[in-house]
Amino acid sequence: DNIIHLVLARLPDAPEGTKGISLFIVPKFLINEDGSLGARNDVVTAGVEHKMGMHANPTCTLSFGETDGAVGYLLGAENHGMACMFTMMNLARVHVGLQGVCLSGRSYDQALAYAQERKQGKAVGSNDEDMSPIIEHPDVRRMLLSMKAQTEATRAIAYANAIAIDFSHHHTDPAEREKAKLREELLTPITKAFGTDVGLDVTSTGIQIHGGMGYIEETGAAQHYRDARILPIYEGTNGIQAIDLAIRKLKMANGQAVKEFIADVAGTISALKGSGDADLLAIAESLEAANNAVAETALWMGEKLQSDIRDNLAGATPYLKIFGFLAGGYYLALGALAAKAYNDAGEGDRSFYDVKITTAKFYAQVYVSQVPALASTARLGADMLYDLTPDQLRG
């Protein structure tokens, strides 16, 4: 019956910058004193944006006050609009990260089905006269396992984030609520930025598996990529998420959020080593090198907050990426430990648990193993970024 817009705007004589932004409720129809709908408010849709993707979700330009003046109602205190907005935005960032996970999963399901049906060439060692399904070719198998492992890693991060949110509100122990709040704050920019970057990568790989047909709209593979492209942009660009992780979350509680996470990973590495299982030991090796690299980089980023914040900002995005790889590997490793325990006890579906272990091992050896090298790029500093002038960048 009515449409309610939440609008950020400035009151007259408001302070400069974000400190002067207030939040308003602007309804399509004004409300009479008896609660019934009244006159039409002076807010109209001025146009519909033509987007690269997300076509099922229209994005419109609104025009306020072109005739009589739009009526808005202050929500919260004056000049506290940003604080109100971030109440919504922090949770929305988790939701956007989940969008990345969901698009990754849908793209993977479709690519897997296509790879089982599409026949091209003969697989190595095949004695069949017919061409082989492309799923039999090593490079296609590599792409599929990459899609699966990345999707499961980002899903695990998002679920861990959701658990932390629940515990921060509902755990019976106040100390555990406080600890969960730190974990929630740490994981939120990783869920959003890493989850959506992976969504873009996975949906691109899904097109690649389809080959030329993936570039044709009738397969539907391209839609996942087009829809995923907005995710690193809205609800705070991924660059902003990286800065949040590299500055605010690094300083939070005197660095406690980062220290506790690294300590938890170290505890899991010890459990992996103590298992005596070759697959889990391989996971532990990659995870330990990554954990050490992230810990070292976090210290460097913290020092740069004091000495040269430009260096910190220049390394923020690769810092978030290595943290994402570490987090994904950590949560998959927890799953692998649980899977081995069930297998040892002879409980449940052994094939299901074997898949969990193999997926965790693949992710550790292909993605987590990249962390030490990527960590060095996070510590390059900002000087090289400014070696070229804007004029030279044009050359």
Strands 4-10 vs 60-64: parallel, antiparallel or unpaired: unpaired
Reading the block at residue 156, the tokens are 């695990």
**300-342 tens-digit pLDDT:** 999 999 999 999 999 999 999 999 999 999 999 999 999 999 9
pLDDT confidence bin for 292, thresholds 50/70/90: very high
CA distance linking residue 153 with residue 97, whole number of Å = 12
Contact 336, 361 (CB under 8 A): yes
Q: What's the pLDDT score for residue 216?
A: 93
> pTM of the prediction?
0.93
Give the percent of the chain with pLDDT over 90.
92
Please indicate whether residue 235 is annotated as part of the active site. yes
Encoded tokens for 74: 């202050």
Of 294 and 86, the structure prediction assigns the larger pLDDT to: 294
Q: Which whole number is the average pLDDT over 278-293?
A: 98
Give residue 91's pLDDT: 87
- Asked if pLDDT for residue 221 goes beyond 90, the answer is yes
Please choose, from the candidates 168, 162, 153, the residue with its C-alpha nearest in 3D space to the C-alpha of residue 187. 162
Helix (H, G, I), strand (E, B) or coil at 303: helix
Going along 69-151, which residue ranges are E strands? 73-75
Which is catalytic among the residues 129, 217, 235, 347? 235
Closest CA to 117 of 98, 97, 140: 140
Give pLDDT, residue 376.
96
What confidence score (pLDDT) does residue 215 get?
94
Tens of pLDDT, residues 126-180:
878 889 999 999 999 999 999 999 999 999 999 999 999 999 999 999 999 999 9
Task: Over range 63-75, report the average pLDDT.
Answer: 93
- Residue 200, classed as helix, strand or coil, is helix
The 10s digit of each residue's pLDDT in 80-129 is: 999 888 888 888 999 999 999 999 999 999 999 999 999 999 889 887 88
